């Protein structure tokens, strides 16, 4: 079980006919906030226990659901919107680059879902993935909704069905689950996600005003923890920075990247605030869950046969280190070398040198799988025939560690190789 493992959640999937393949393409996750039994009847007023948080792509061109989601988040952050009660997700059409008509289409589906669920339309978050520039087939979604709502359930089958319905070029459904203790009570966090191509997320934060964007991946996370809304957003942003923002399949960030976190508050602890020592435990568990899901996305990257991880240390700042790690993980030459198990480490060093970050090569060293190949600006004596280096290149993931100085900046990125299959998958995707 994943997303319905936390108390207060049900999920379902349906086949609306959006995907040309005729596979399931519509999922619904419903949050039913509840005051836990243990907290009832004390006479004291009970704080609202449900809360939601979200992060979105920084692409200048976004899907209509992202526009709606950003607006919801802004209103929610200032107390002008309610927490989310439902996520309505479709695959097969991203409803992106569709302008005002596309936004109207998304709003129509929010209204329809709200009607069936007996909630308000602004408690429904739409989410779409698939081909860009096509209008959302609202009629098909409308026709599928009654059955979808009727199918809402808890359990493995519901989770698995939802995880499969949101897939596009994914080969496997992606789910994760963590159980932690908060104030000696078991609390659950669950997630489903999709993503295989157009993956290089650079998710924003609620306080962003724009900036350099990058990755469609969708992740829907549920928890029965009761966490203060502002803290929930902070925890999610931290978790995304340390997971989804550190992966890249193909350097092309999507217009639809979204991570949504709904907390039902159904566990009999909390609300947890930022100064609560348990907050760090919650945040760490959420981060580990997101890293688990992020790794699954790269593992299922289009055409990917092997992963590699680049760590950059000694930069002036974490941001500098991240820019260099991203330049390495996105280099097609590095990705091809990983594919060919070829210890062509010059590509790694020069890719890092292209990030626009100044450093002295004489301070730079590179190890692959613990085998130093480049030290203080010169090649070591390890040649490509070295057995340890060959073993390092055969590892999965291949671990590359680049040190470029003595600064405190550190970052990592997880990427995958570039195979001929990537070309085959993407040379003819809309047809």
Task: Give the Cα separation of 387 and 394 in Å (integer).
Answer: 10
431/426 Cα distance (integer angstroms):
10
CB-based contacts of 290, cutoff 8 Å, min separation 6: 191, 219, 221, 239, 240, 242, 243, 244, 259
User: Does the protein bind its own copies through residue 255 (CB under 8 A)?
Assistant: yes
* 193-212 residues near its own copies, rule: CB under 8 A: 197-198, 210-212
**Is residue 78 flagged as an active site residue?**
no
How deeply is 405 buried, as exposed, middle or buried, from its count of CB atoms within 10 A (0-12, 13-18, 19+)? middle
Residue 3 in contact with residue 220, Cβ under 8 Å?
yes
Closest CA to 124 of 149, 160, 158: 149
296 vs 347, which CB is nearer to its own copies?
347
Q: Is 394 exposed, middle or buried (0-12, 13-18, 19+ CB in 10 A)?
A: exposed
- Nearest approach, Cβ of residue 26 and its own copies (Å): 21
Q: Is 369 in the site for its own copies (CB under 8 A)?
A: no
Binding to its own copies by CB under 8 A, coded x per residue (else -) over 284-323, reads ----------------------------------------
CB of 202 to its own copies, least distance (A): 8
Which window, 171-179, 229-237, 359-367, 387-395, contacts its own copies (CB under 8 A)? 359-367
- The whole-angstrom distance between residue 147's C-alpha and the CA centroid of its chain comes to 28
- Does 419 bind its own copies (CB under 8 A)? Our answer is yes
| Sequence-separated (6 or more) residues with CB below 8 Å from residue 153 | 4, 10, 11, 12
Q: Which residues of 339-352 are buried (b: 16+ CB within 10 A; e: fewer)?
A: beeebebebbbebb
From 107-115, 160-168, 187-195, 372-380, span contacting its own copies (CB under 8 A): 372-380
Which residues from 155-174 bind its own copies, rule CB under 8 A?
A: none
Please report whether residue 339 would count as binding its own copies according to CB under 8 A.
Answer: yes
Binding segment (CB under 8 A) for its own copies, from list 24-32, 137-145, 147-155, 373-381: 373-381
Q: Alpha-carbon distance 153 to 251, whole Å?
A: 37
Residue ranges in 96-125 that form contacts with its own copies under rule CB under 8 A? 96-102
420 binds its own copies (CB under 8 A): yes
Q: Work out whether 362 is an interface residue with its own copies (CB under 8 A).
A: yes
Catalytic residue among 216, 287, 295, 403: 216
What residues between 235 and 254 interact with its own copies by CB under 8 A? 250-254
Please name the residues in contact with 15: beta carbons below 8 A apart, sequence gap of 6 or more.
22, 23, 24, 25, 26, 144
Rank residues 120 and 406 by Cβ distance to its own copies and give the closer one.
Answer: 406
Q: Is 426 a residue that touches its own copies (CB under 8 A)? A: yes
Q: Which of 44, 427 has the CB closer to its own copies?
A: 427
Size of the site for its own copies (CB under 8 A): 79
Question: Shortest gap between Cβ of 174 and its own copies (angstroms)?
Answer: 21
Q: From the CB of 141, what's the least distance to its own copies, in Å?
A: 19
Q: How far is CA 404 from the centre of its chain?
A: 29
Residues 29-88 that bind its own copies (CB under 8 A): 59-62
Q: DSSP string spanning 103-120? A: HHHHHHHHHHHHHHHTS-
Give which of 157, 9, 151, 156 is closest to 85, Cα–Cα.
Answer: 9
Active site (catalytic) residues: 216
């Amino acid at each position: 079980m994943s997303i319905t493992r936390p108390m207060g959640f049900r999920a379902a999937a349906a086949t609306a006919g959006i995907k040309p393949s005729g596979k399931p393409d519509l999922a619904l996750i419903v949050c039913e906030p509840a005051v836990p039994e243990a907290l009832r009847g004390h006479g004291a007023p009970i704080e609202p226990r449900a809360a939601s948080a979200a992060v979105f792509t920084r692409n200048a061109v976004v899907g209509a659901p992202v526009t709606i989601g950003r607006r919801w988040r802004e209103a929610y952050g200032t107390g002008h919107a309610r927490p989310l009660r439902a996520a309505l997700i479709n695959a097969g059409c991203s409803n992106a680059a569709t302008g005002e008509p596309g936004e109207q289409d998304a709003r129509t589906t929010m209204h329809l879902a709200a009607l069936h669920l007996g909630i308000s339309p602004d408690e429904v978050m739409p989410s779409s993935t698939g081909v860009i520039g096509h209008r959302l087939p609202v009629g098909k979604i409308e026709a599928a909704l009654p059955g979808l709502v009727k199918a809402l359930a808890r359990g493995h089958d519901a989770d698995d069905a939802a995880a499969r319905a949101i897939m596009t070029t994914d080969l496997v459904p992606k789910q994760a689950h963590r159980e932690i203790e908060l104030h000696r009570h078991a609390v659950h966090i669950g997630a489903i996600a999709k993503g295989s191509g157009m993956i290089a997320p650079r998710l924003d934060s609620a306080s962003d005003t724009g900036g350099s964007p990058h990755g469609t991946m969708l992740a829907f996370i549920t928890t029965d923890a009761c966490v203060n809304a502002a803290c929930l957003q902070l925890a999610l942003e931290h978790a995304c920075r340390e997971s989804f923002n550190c992966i890249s399949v193909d350097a092309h960030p999507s217009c639809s990247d979204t991570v949504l976190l709904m907390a039902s508050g159904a566990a009999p602890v909390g609300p947890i605030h930022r100064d609560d020592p348990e907050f760090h435990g919650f945040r760490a568990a959420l981060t580990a869950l997101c890293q688990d899901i992020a790794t699954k996305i790269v593992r299922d990257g289009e055409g990917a046969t092997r992963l590699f991880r680049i760590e950059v240390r000694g930069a002036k700042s974490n941001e500098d280190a991240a820019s260099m790690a991203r330049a390495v993980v996105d280099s097609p030459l590095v990705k091809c070398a990983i594919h060919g198990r070829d210890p062509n480490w010059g590509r790694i060093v020069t890719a890092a040198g292209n990030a626009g970050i100044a450093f002295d090569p004489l301070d730079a060293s590179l190890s692959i799988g613990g085998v130093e190949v480049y030290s203080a600006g010169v090649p070591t004596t390890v040649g490509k025939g070295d057995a340890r280096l060959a073993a390092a290149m055969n590892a999965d993931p291949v671990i590359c560690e680049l040190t470029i100085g003595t600064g405190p900046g550190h970052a990592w990125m997880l990427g995958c190789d570039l195979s001929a299959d990537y070309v085959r998958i993407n040379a003819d995707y809309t047809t």
